């Protein structure tokens, strides 16, 4: 078998290790605090069940959130052919292939392991890109699967979602912890305040961890995808097209996809919105500059 053209990224591996360690500490802290509340041992169960569910069902949940349908080779022969070729070049298992019917031009990869993963493209991106540009995007997404950064991002997102849920619905939980029997009021109120404050802390820390890893992993996938296809200029062209068209997608459509934005090829936000300040993706120009360096390197080697 020919040598794989997929290039690993030591920097990404180190960052994922650091984020995983940080997440482990957050999970233990969150579970320990919940254990001190009226939830008791249920706190451990909630945290562990959330993490396991997000990890195990990550590919199915992501596809359902985008209303994507898995397609067989006879339903999308050209798309499958591209992925077959790229998987052969990277010497990796072929993921499930899915299509989401939406005008938003984007793509994403998801899954708990390379053997249990999926790559999804939208009808919008297939209509806007030529074959070589689409192949560049697919190489980028397959790099996420091969790097296993999708798994880390999925678990990182789960604890943030749980902490955010408790923070957002604090009044309900406050009533549950402090209401009812007057004998429990002295303990319920302070317990809820502690949970609420820790939830804010956990959400903030997970937010920072996700953003830091997400920006780097996108640059890593750009590099790996460009080396895989040997045509970084096509990936650059796809980035320019998609970023330009994304700003013209109605905000209502973008909001529906916000939960998946961190996993998209390009962020699902209006570039002029406040959300751009907290983007999960690096600036477009930074990605283009990096691809230009890869192109120069490949030219020297050729």
Catalytic residues: 141
Helix (H, G, I), strand (E, B) or coil at 70: strand
Longest CA pairwise span in the chain (Å): 78
User: What's 16's DSSP letter?
Assistant: H
Residues 6+ apart with CB under 8 A from 138: 82, 83, 86, 107, 119, 121
Distance CA 141, CA 136 (A): 9
Residues in the chain: 302
Distance CA 246, CA 90 (A): 29
Reading the block at residue 281, the tokens are: 């993706």
| Residue whose C-alpha is closest to residue 235's, from 146, 139, 148, 143 | 139
Question: Which residues is 120 bridged to in the sheet?
Answer: 98, 108
Distance CA 58, CA 1 (A): 31
């Amino acid at each position: 078998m020919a040598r794989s053209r997929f290039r690993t990224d030591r920097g990404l591996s180190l960052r994922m290790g650091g984020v995983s360690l940080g997440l482990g500490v957050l999970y233990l802290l969150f579970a320990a605090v919940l254990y001190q509340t009226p939830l008791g041992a249920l706190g451990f169960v909630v945290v562990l069940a959330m993490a396991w569910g997000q990890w195990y069902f990550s590919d199915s949940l992501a596809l359902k959130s985008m209303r994507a349908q898995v397609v067989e080779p006879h339903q999308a022969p050209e798309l499958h052919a591209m992925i077959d070729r790229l998987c052969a070049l990277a010497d990796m298992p072929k993921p499930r292939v899915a299509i989401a019917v939406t005008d938003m031009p984007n793509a994403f990869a998801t899954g708990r392991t390379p053997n249990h993963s999926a790559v999804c493209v939208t009808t919008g991106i297939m209509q806007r890109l030529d074959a070589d540009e689409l192949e560049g995007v697919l190489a980028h997404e397959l790099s996420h699967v091969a790097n296993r950064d999708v798994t880390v991002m999925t678990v990182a997102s789960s604890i943030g979602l749980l902490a955010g849920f408790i923070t957002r619905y604090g009044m309900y939980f406050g009533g549950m912890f402090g209401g009812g029997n007057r004998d429990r009021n002295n303990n319920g109120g302070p317990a809820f305040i502690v949970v609420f404050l820790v939830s804010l802390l956990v959400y903030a820390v997970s937010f920072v961890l996700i953003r830091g890893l997400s920006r780097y992993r996108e640059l890593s996938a750009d590099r790996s995808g460009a080396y895989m296809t040997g045509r970084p200029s096509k990936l650059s062209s796809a980035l320019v097209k998609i970023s330009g068209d994304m700003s013209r997608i109605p905000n209502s459509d973008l909001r529906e996809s916000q939960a998946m934005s961190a996993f998209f090829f390009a962020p699902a936000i209006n570039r002029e919105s406040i959300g751009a300040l907290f983007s999960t993706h690096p600036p477009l120009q930074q990605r283009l500059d990096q691809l230009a360096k890869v192109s120069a390197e490949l030219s020297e080697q050729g």
